[in-house]
Amino acid sequence: MNRLFLTSAVVLAVVIVSETQAQETVPQPPKVLTRQERGEKVMNSFSQGQGLPPHFQQLQKDFPELADLTLKYAVGDIWGREVLDDKTRQLVSLAGFAAEGTMPQFKVHAQYALNYGVTPEELMEVIYITTVTSGYPRALIAAGTLKELFQENNVKFPVTSQQ
Amino acid sequence: MNRLFLTSAVVLAVVIVSETQAQETVPQPPKVLTRQERGEKVMNSFSQGQGLPPHFQQLQKDFPELADLTLKYAVGDIWGREVLDDKTRQLVSLAGFAAEGTMPQFKVHAQYALNYGVTPEELMEVIYITTVTSGYPRALIAAGTLKELFQENNVKFPVTSQQ
Amino acid sequence: MNRLFLTSAVVLAVVIVSETQAQETVPQPPKVLTRQERGEKVMNSFSQGQGLPPHFQQLQKDFPELADLTLKYAVGDIWGREVLDDKTRQLVSLAGFAAEGTMPQFKVHAQYALNYGVTPEELMEVIYITTVTSGYPRALIAAGTLKELFQENNVKFPVTSQQ
Amino acid sequence: MNRLFLTSAVVLAVVIVSETQAQETVPQPPKVLTRQERGEKVMNSFSQGQGLPPHFQQLQKDFPELADLTLKYAVGDIWGREVLDDKTRQLVSLAGFAAEGTMPQFKVHAQYALNYGVTPEELMEVIYITTVTSGYPRALIAAGTLKELFQENNVKFPVTSQQ
Amino acid sequence: MNRLFLTSAVVLAVVIVSETQAQETVPQPPKVLTRQERGEKVMNSFSQGQGLPPHFQQLQKDFPELADLTLKYAVGDIWGREVLDDKTRQLVSLAGFAAEGTMPQFKVHAQYALNYGVTPEELMEVIYITTVTSGYPRALIAAGTLKELFQENNVKFPVTSQQ
Amino acid sequence: MNRLFLTSAVVLAVVIVSETQAQETVPQPPKVLTRQERGEKVMNSFSQGQGLPPHFQQLQKDFPELADLTLKYAVGDIWGREVLDDKTRQLVSLAGFAAEGTMPQFKVHAQYALNYGVTPEELMEVIYITTVTSGYPRALIAAGTLKELFQENNVKFPVTSQQ
């Protein structure tokens, strides 16, 4: 095996790695995920191991570039962070969606929160806090969205924490 | 002790109770707090036992009715709830303030969060999530407010969680 | 009548008062309303004596705590204030809802305004002002909501003040 | 007088009318104001007969076209409407500004409201209502702006309606 | 032809001009349009020569004064400006609508943009930029509206610029 | 040179590539930029070849992770796109910032727009359009920010397109 071949092999290996953004397959702990892989892993965690949710697969069909940005940035880079625990990260996100009044995203992430074990009572706390941060209408509109979600998940009504 | 005196005593007791909104003074566990007391207790918790913060005392002087509504409703009724733990409740509130771009309240509650033991790294997570829920400008503006707060609290720079 | 019984009676009376938040029943003008009573009185005024509106009764079934906060705070504490007259209070509230784009609340309170005698022409003034404070889209969206409301109330079209 | 001269005179008259947007000068009650005149009349009413406020004169120097649109549309077309009375029109506008958090405009129009005879207590009602429509932070920020205004107008503190 | 008749004719002509805000029909370059005419001309340009769009004609029937303000101010005064080219003016407007989340106006103006020759790929750029200026939810909601529009216009899916 | 050494060299090379996300340095047209490089290239274009602007260098010192996300996502992924031309991309972004009322970002990007050759008159068009999409206050506040910028850039006042 001569030197030229070896050097070429190194360069080839590097080029392959660069183009696919894949990490090496040689065993080494811990494996560094690509942004795409990280996004898919988080999505899979959101859906309790069911992979990419149907609404996201539809986005990939309609607007592949937008889906790609969403998966890598919003899901991978941001929701893939590990400083806060999964439940808190979703509650914080829900507070932002409720303040903005962006209900499609609020509903999807409230489902993810339930999947992570956040209780309906804890989700209601986001509503109460929203009355202070953003006013009653935003809170009541988000509560209406939670009602839909709770019905879809057979959550028992009424939801109250009996404080 | 005649009947009239007794009746008067009952009425008097009731009137006192009504006027002060205080509950009975006969020992009984657990004492039910009035809304005012609950607000003051939460404020004292926010300030690590220093009582009402100076900015709130100023509000009481300038606009007593607005201060009264704030103490009883926002602080007592809402932040006095106990379903979420103290740290999570502040992180959720901060997400709402960051989304709205209401920096005076964001700063005050970020200080309360630090007082509760939320770390600067955890506060930064609200910023990262805000880039997704509300866009980069709202996140960068809130980060600027955190910088002021961190400097006032001698938090070491740069703040990073080295993920 | 022994002392123990008397003391018990006082405690019982006080406990009852505490639990119901009712004021004493000894005749005295003017009767001070509890927050709950004040909220119910204002709601009854909103609905022209028809009591709690159906949408609010539904909220009580679904989310009793949220309904309780709404009735006591938003309705009782705030809309129960008497500095502004009823019509002005609703017009001011509608301007806030229109600016936020929170149409469910805008519609409900526009109905209350009609009930109080606010004319369709006066409601349209909120729309015109909203074009300035919040832009044309928010104004046009609120106008669409008013159209629904006017049709439900058999208000004659077109609505114009022929200025 | 030949035909050409007459035709020219008509054209000249029309051109003059077009350029100045003035209505005919033949005496007739009531005079229909141009949009510009209507805007100036309303501005003069805002400032209690002091003509165009200094901040608006500055806008005319910096951005004449923007000032022109503001005077004719926002001031003339909208605030020049007469369906609501002057006080109510300002209170409704202030609710919109408070909800949006646009404090420069909130302050200017709160001054106009004081000029029209709206009391400090009535201005505070906009703040209380804003806690419901848009949340506590927007309300507290607007209250801070009112404090500045009240100090500039020597309004006695604390402001409370003792409800 | 005597003098009195001629003078009367001039006055009559001026009065007619004033009342209708129409300009003279005597040939002269360039014709100065009234605000109404300018609005109608721009609307006709929006609709590729099809005159006033059906949704606007409905607004004229329901709320004539609001339609009049919209046609003269929003359409005539603002979208009738000529500093930016037609495509850029619509893209800038769409960014504002997307940030506000006002989808009825976003959709109507995205159609106008397509009519002007803006490509689906260029419309998608507004979506990508909105993820930065206003966050992912506003961007995804606007993308959903574009999907409806693209389907109505038989735009081929998926839309991607293959960058 | 034994096999173990060779394998190690390949792994080392791959690890270095992974950590820096740099592409291969072997000449090949066209070079695919890393996200970091793309962000730096766009920033350099924003600043007319002056590299990273001082405000961004400060962000890197204070909050390195947030700066990293901003450079790679907002600047590289989004403003590095090439479907719209540079001027239009900035005008669209400015419309979003004006609608949100996020003035620090509005000002920075208005400077970038001037650097790209956008004229002051074209920047004012964003203001006029904002009166329609988001109301007068947002437009006037953004105009105030443009005034600061124009003064810093010695733009001659008044700015008008004399339409």
Question: Is residue C123 in some structural domain?
Answer: yes
Question: Is residue C26 in some structural domain?
Answer: no
CB proximity E18 to D under 8 Å: yes
Question: Is residue E16 in some structural domain?
Answer: no
Of C1, C18, C73, the CB nearest to B23: C18
3-state secondary structure of C118: coil
Inter-chain touch E13–D10, beta carbons under 8 Å: yes
A158 and A113 share a domain?
A: yes
The answer to whether A8 touches A15, Cβ cutoff 8 Å, is: no
CB proximity C141 to F under 8 Å: no
> Nearest-CA residue of chain A relative to E125?
A66
Instruction: Decide which of B83, B117, B150 is a domain's last residue.
Output: B83
Kindly tell me the number of DSSP H helices and DSSP E strands found in chain A.
8, 0
CB proximity C137 to F under 8 Å: yes
pLDDT, greater one: A145 or A12? A145
CB proximity A135 to C under 8 Å: yes
C68 and C118 share a domain?
A: no
**Lowest-confidence range among B23-32, C26-35, E69-78?**
B23-32
Average the pLDDT over D9-17 and give the result. 42
Place of tokens 């929160």: A113
Neighbouring chains to E with at least 3 Cβ pairs closer than 8 Å: A, B, C, D, F
Total number of domains in chain F = 2
Question: Is residue E27 in some structural domain?
Answer: no
Question: Is residue C7 in some structural domain?
Answer: no
CB proximity D11 to E under 8 Å: yes
Tell me the C-alpha distance between D14 and D23, whole Å: 11
Instruction: Decide which of E46, E61, E83 is a domain's last residue.
Output: E83
Tell me the C-alpha distance between A86 and D145, whole Å: 40
CB proximity B135 to E under 8 Å: yes
The answer to whether B39 touches A132, Cβ cutoff 8 Å, is: no
Kindly tell me the number of DSSP H helices and DSSP E strands found in chain B.
8, 0
**Chain pair D-F, CB pairs under 8 angstroms:** 54
Average the pLDDT over A70-87 and give the result. 98
Residues on chain F touching C138 (C-beta within 8 angstroms): 135
Helices C86-100, D120-133: axis angle to 10 degrees equals 50
Inter-chain touch A18–F6, beta carbons under 8 Å: no
Alpha-carbon distances, residue D73 vs C121, C128, D108 (angstroms): 20, 11, 17
E79 and E89 share a domain?
A: no
B92 and B71 share a domain?
A: no
Composition of chain A by helix, strand, coil, percent to 5: 70, 0, 30
CB proximity B2 to C under 8 Å: no
D63 and D92 share a domain?
A: no
A90 and A65 share a domain?
A: no
Looking at residue A43, what is its pLDDT?
98
Q: What is the pLDDT along chain C (163 residues), one digit of tens a residue?
A: 445 444 444 444 444 444 444 444 556 667 899 999 999 999 999 999 999 999 999 999 999 999 999 999 999 999 999 999 999 999 999 999 999 999 999 999 999 999 999 999 999 999 999 999 999 999 999 999 999 999 999 999 888 776 5
Amino acid at E21: Q
Instruction: Decide which of C20, C51, C83 is a domain's last residue.
Output: C83
Average the pLDDT over B73-96 and give the result. 98
Tell me the C-alpha distance between A143 and A149, whole Å: 10
pLDDT, greater one: D5 or A37? A37
The answer to whether A34 touches F35, Cβ cutoff 8 Å, is: no
B77 and B151 share a domain?
A: no
Is the pLDDT reported for residue F163 higher than 60? no
Residue A127's domain is classified under what CATH number? 1.20.1290.10
Neighbouring chains to C with at least 3 Cβ pairs closer than 8 Å: A, B, D, E, F
Range of the domain at A126: 85-163
Nearest CA-CA partner of B58 in D143, C41, A89: D143
User: pLDDT by residue (tens digit) across D89-111?
Assistant: 999 999 999 999 999 999 999 99
> Nearest-CA residue of chain D relative to E26?
D11
Question: Is residue D11 in some structural domain?
Answer: no
The three-state (H, E, C) secondary structure of chain E, written as one string: CCHHHHHHHHHHHHHHHHHHCCCCCCCCCCCCCCHHHHHHHHHHHHCCCCCCCHHHHHHHHHCHHHHHHHHHHHHHHHCCCCCCCHHHHHHHHHHHHHHHCCHHHHHHHHHHHHHCCCCHHHHHHHHHHHHHHCCHHHHHHHHHHHHHHHHHCCCCCCCCCCC
Looking at residue D29, what is its pLDDT?
66
User: pLDDT by residue (tens digit) across A24-36?
Assistant: 455 566 789 999 9
Tell me the C-alpha distance between E133 and B134, whole Å: 8
**Lowest-confidence range among D47-56, E11-20, E28-37, F2-11?**
E11-20
Is the pLDDT reported for residue B118 higher than 60? yes
Nearest CA-CA partner of A134 in A114, A163, A106, A113: A106
Is the pLDDT reported for residue E11 higher than 70? no
Looking at residue F157, what is its pLDDT?
84
Nearest CA-CA partner of D105 in A106, F4, C99, A79: C99
Tell me the C-alpha distance between B148 and B107, whole Å: 9
F116 and F157 share a domain?
A: yes
F118 and F51 share a domain?
A: no
E104 and E153 share a domain?
A: yes
D52 and D115 share a domain?
A: no
Q: What is the dihedral of CA D9, D10, D16, D17, to 10 degrees?
A: 150
Confidence of residue E1 (pLDDT cuts 50, 70, 90): very low
Place of tokens 């914080």: A92
Question: Is residue E20 in some structural domain?
Answer: no
User: pLDDT by residue (tens digit) across C89-101?
Assistant: 999 999 999 999 9
Average the pLDDT over B112-137 and give the result. 98
Residues on chain E touching D3 (C-beta within 8 angstroms): 1
E151 and E135 share a domain?
A: yes
Residues 6+ apart with CB under 8 A from A130: A95, A98, A99, A138, A139, A142, B96, D135
Tell me the C-alpha distance between A96 and B97, whole Å: 8
Inter-chain touch C135–F131, beta carbons under 8 Å: yes
Helices A3-20, F3-20: axis angle to 10 degrees equals 30
Is the pLDDT reported for residue D47 higher than 70? yes
Residues on chain B touching E135 (C-beta within 8 angstroms): 130-135, 138
Question: Is residue C138 in some structural domain?
Answer: yes
Residues on chain A touching B163 (C-beta within 8 angstroms): 81-83
User: pLDDT by residue (tens digit) across F105-150?
Assistant: 999 999 999 999 999 999 999 999 999 999 999 999 999 999 999 9
Complex ipTM > 0.85: no
pLDDT above 70 coverage of chain D, percent: 81
Place of tokens 């200094």: D54
Average the pLDDT over A51-75 and give the result. 97
CB proximity F152 to B under 8 Å: no
Nearest CA-CA partner of B105 in B70, B153, B130: B70
